[in-house]
Amino acid sequence: MTKLKFSNKMEYVDSKKQEFSYSEVQMITNNFERVVGKGGFGTVYYGCIGETQVAVKMLSHSSTQGVQQFQTEANILTRVHHRCFTPLIGYCNEGTRTALIYEYMTNGDLAEKLSGQSQTFLGWEQRFQIALDSAIGLEYLHNGCKPPIIHRDVKTRNILLDENLRAKISDFGLSRIFSDDGDTHVSTAIAGTPGYLDPEYNTTNRLNEKSDVYSFGIVLLEIITGRTVILKTQVRTHIIKWVSSMLADDGEIDGVVDTRLQGEYDSEAARKVIDVAMACVAPSSVNRPTMNQVVMELKQCFPVGKLGTTSTGSSEIVSAGE
């Protein structure tokens, strides 16, 4: 059993992943030639290990918040494994040079695919396979992990797509692990992305799994409408308000569903999915469904065999609170 230790925090993470030296990371990334992403933690580079394409997330030690998020992600992804999460291949921990190495997702993120700026257009069934994959991943965090984990930053940018356009949840840097399996919430400083942030959590500082449900509801509305969370009109309008006003006008969904689909969707299924999304974004958390209920509702929207099947989990987190 390998131990991953962060040099400045003396924190250990159990890991069966492969450890790479910094010189190997340089070779993997062709001396950090291609940048594919940036964040508070540092920079992400494209690379290859043999025939496997990888993304190498290099930690910048200049950001205290980045270090903490990096450690959180390492703690979770070296212990929790699921086909709906971005696979962690290995790591580098050499002095102050720290990196996490992931399988590269060739189709980028969901936000890009929905933006209209991508060469790949997502059809109706592809969109809801992505929605179902994402819901199953979140359901596993909430119910398959002991103690449960709250992602805390669910958004279209953090849903990556593999070569088959199957969804992988990424970026666990803000995630919180419940200290005890019986806890109902965690009191914590507000963190997340504006527009996706649960308003109840934002006012009470009390985080629970329903905060992820709210954020997932926003993602579902983006998938359905093809619009961003904040609509860039003359008046910046939140997607919930826009959908609510469209439904209030005549109750029809044609004006809500992405017009680029050109009517190529199942109206009955679309109505059900919109209902699920609006239930997820209920202002009060007690009125929101659980992710388990969301998964069941989404599965009922499509005929058996129409969408791919995804396992509900492959392993449990062990001693996550350590």
Phi–psi pair at 81, nearest 5 degrees: -130, 130
Mean pLDDT calculated for residue range 68-73? 84
Coil, strand or helix at 322: coil
Q: Which of the two residues, 67 and 115, has the higher pLDDT score?
A: 115
Residue 309 has pLDDT above 70, yes or no: no
Contacting residues for 113 by C-beta, under 8 A, at least 6 apart? 107, 120, 122, 161
Q: Which of the two residues, 40 and 15, has the higher pLDDT score?
A: 40
pLDDT at 312 (0 to 100): 44
Residue 9 has pLDDT above 50, yes or no: no
Residue 11 has pLDDT above 90, yes or no: no
Residue count of the chain: 322
pLDDT at 7 (0 to 100): 41
In percent, how much of the chain has pLDDT > 90? Answer: 61
d(CA 139, CA 51): 32
Is 57 labelled as part of a ligand binding site?
A: yes
Looking at domain 110-300, its CATH architecture is Orthogonal Bundle (1.10)
pLDDT at 178 (0 to 100): 80
d(CA 189, CA 155): 19
Class of domain 2-103: alpha beta
- Least confident stretch, 25-34, 37-46, 60-69, 151-160: 60-69
d(CA 135, CA 200): 21
**β pairing state of 149-150 and 167-169:** unpaired
Stated as kind and residue range, the H or E segment containing 161 is strand 159-161
For the segment 192-208, what is each residue's pLDDT rounded down to a tens digit? 788 999 999 888 888 89
Coil, strand or helix at 4: strand
Q: Clarify whether 153 is annotated catalytic.
A: yes
- CA distances to 59, 116, 149, 170, 181 from 70, in Å: 7, 31, 16, 12, 24
Mean pLDDT calculated for residue range 274-296? 97
Q: Which of 109, 133, 153, 171 is catalytic?
A: 153
Structure tokens at 235: 């008046």
Residue 2 has pLDDT above 50, yes or no: no
Instruction: Give one DSSP letter per residue of 60-85, joined into a string.
Output: PTT-HHHHHHHHHHHHHHTT---TTB
Is 242 within 8 Å of 281 (Cβ atoms)?
no
Mean pLDDT calculated for residue range 88-96? 89
Is 283 within 8 Å of 213 (Cβ atoms)?
no
| Max mean pLDDT range (161-165, 185-189, 234-238, 299-303) | 161-165
Q: Is 290 exposed, middle or buried (0-12, 13-18, 19+ CB in 10 A)?
A: middle
Domain ranges of the chain: 2-103, 110-300
DSSP annotation of 290 reads P
Q: What is the mean pLDDT of the chain?
A: 85
> Could you tell me the pTM of the whole model?
0.87
Angle at alpha carbon of residue 70, lines to 64 and 72, rounded to 5°:
105
- CA distances to 17, 195, 278, 289 from 241, in Å: 45, 12, 11, 20
